[in-house]
Amino acid sequence: MSLAEQYQEKFRRSGELYTKASEVFPSGVTHDARFMRPFPVYVERAQGSHKWTVEGHELIDYWTGHGSLMLGHSHPDLVSAVSEQVRKGTHYGANHENELKWGQLVKELVPGAERVRFTSSGTEATLMAIRLARAFTGRKVIVKFASHFHGWHDIMTAGVHPPYDVPDSVGIPEEVFQNVRVAPPNEIDFLEKLFAEEGQKVAAVILEPTGGTWGTTPFIPGFLEQLRQLCTDHGVLLIFDEVITGFRLAPGGAQEYFNIDADLCCFAKVLAGGLPGGAVTGPKEIMDLIAYSDDPKRNRFNKFSHPGTYNANPLSAAAGIAMLEQIKGGEPSRLANAATKYLIDGLNQAFKATGVKGFAYGEGSMFHMAFGLSGYESKQDFVNWRPLMEVPFGRFGDAFRQAMLLEGVDMLPMGGWLSAVHSCEDLDRSIEAFEKTLRTLKNEGILE
């Protein structure tokens, strides 16, 4: 039987559900990244580092809730915190003590978080940080990096995927991009020139601190430090989008991990323990633009307007507190970072053992694979970042996922996220599955 036939047989019920879902949702899915051919698997429960499909097949999970579940699925502390909160009410339409506790934890952990504002998602957090930067500086231009992802609001769809020339979405007027500049990562000269020409117009530079697409295109050593200095010199705010890295790389996120201070930081995912939630943090003088003010010069409400029905909702707050209480001591980050190093080594051995051209790499508890490339030996080599985003999707991507799922592992061809509860056995089984997958794809003529 071919790979696709085996997949269709093993995950038959998922296929049936997908056929029905295609009559309800565009492409049958509810998030672009969950789409795969001939159909994605349907999951009915999850625990720790594992999840089970509707057919009852166990999978080792490297999606970990799109990077939000640092403690794995259904950690007992989160289960009891959220269950207790459901009984007490899910939305008070009022302030509540847990939002305060949650905010205090964020303040305690995140460097420079003099003030915190909760949102409902990472997309909302980056939207807020950008608008705050524009309001604070009185400037319009936002600089982002090619390959960096900051959610799906209008201006951040610029320069996400190769060749970075058109936005990631239809439906956005061209004028929206008049005040956005897409910079190539790792080229400080480009930014020096840009700032020399129009530094007075630039409100902020926003970036994923480990590099674009959760670290697929890493920054070379020293780049972040140079950028920090450049921003300071030109009065430009530096925004760290820590939606993935926050509370993951270290309790204080990328700022702590790289020892660099950002002016504003955006969070989501781990922040809310896997429930919907985001936040922006920063100095009082910027964040207080959201505060009520008597200054009549500002605008109708004299403030940065920020409603949002689900901001700091009690369920997310309960999960977030339970998560951050665990994160605080640093053990989850240490465990997940160490496990990721082990996995990366194993994946690289599999590349070698099978003779497939490619390599695995990563930072903290995030890992990536670059198929078809070789020659990246040190971090300095990532100066050549463009080929790293040229993941051969389409037939290769679908076949990779099918083969890995057949081997009991749910992993994207571009990598994934680990939690603090991925065990040595999980890692060994995953490395074995990866090696088998490379051999299968060679046999199918999909990989050389």
Ligand X SMILES: Cc1ncc(COP(=O)(O)O)c(C=O)c1O
Closest C-alpha among 67, 165, 84 to residue 122: 67
Non-local (6+) Cβ contacts of 79 within 8 A are none
Residue 132's H or E segment, with its range, is helix 122-137
Return the DSSP state at 258. H
| Cα 344 from Cα 364, distance rounded (Å) | 11
CA 8 to chain centre: 30
| Cα 7 from Cα 10, distance rounded (Å) | 5
User: Hey, what long-range contacts does 397-401 have (CB within 8 A, 24 or more apart)?
Assistant: 397/36, 398/36, 398/37, 398/38, 399/3, 399/4, 399/441, 399/444, 399/446, 400/437, 400/441, 401/36
State the nearest-atom distance from the C-beta of 244 to ligand X, in Å.
5
Could you tell me the two tokens for 103? 């905010």
SS3 357: coil
Comparison of 230 and 268: residue with beta carbon closer to ligand X? 268
**Position of minimal CB gap to ligand X:** 122
Comparison of 254 and 403: residue with beta carbon closer to ligand X? 254
| Cα 291 from Cα 18, distance rounded (Å) | 46
Comparison of 153 and 379: residue with beta carbon closer to ligand X? 153
State the nearest-atom distance from the C-beta of 113 to ligand X, in Å.
18
Comparison of 15 and 212: residue with beta carbon closer to ligand X? 212
Comparison of 213 and 337: residue with beta carbon closer to ligand X? 213
State the nearest-atom distance from the C-beta of 441 to ligand X, in Å.
27
Name the site residues for ligand X (rule: CB under 6 A). 66, 121-123, 126, 149-151, 208, 214, 241, 243-244, 268
State the nearest-atom distance from the C-beta of 241 to ligand X, in Å.
5
Comparison of 199 and 320: residue with beta carbon closer to ligand X? 320
State the nearest-atom distance from the C-beta of 66 to ligand X, in Å.
6
State the nearest-atom distance from the C-beta of 342 to ligand X, in Å.
24
Non-local (6+) Cβ contacts of 251 within 8 A are 109, 327, 328, 329, 330, 333
State the nearest-atom distance from the C-beta of 389 to ligand X, in Å.
15
Three-point CA angle 10, 66, 160, nearest 5°: 110
State the nearest-atom distance from the C-beta of 448 to ligand X, in Å.
31
SS3 28: helix
Q: Three-state SS string across 403-442, please?
A: HHHHCCEECECCEEECCCCCCHHHHHHHHHHHHHHHHHHH
State the nearest-atom distance from the C-beta of 61 to ligand X, in Å.
16
Comparison of 122 and 159: residue with beta carbon closer to ligand X? 122
Cβ-count burial 161-171 (b if 16+ within 10 Å, e if not): beebeebeeee
Comparison of 244 and 441: residue with beta carbon closer to ligand X? 244
Comparison of 109 and 244: residue with beta carbon closer to ligand X? 244
- Alpha helix stretches (DSSP H) within 284-423: 284-287, 314-327, 331-354, 395-406
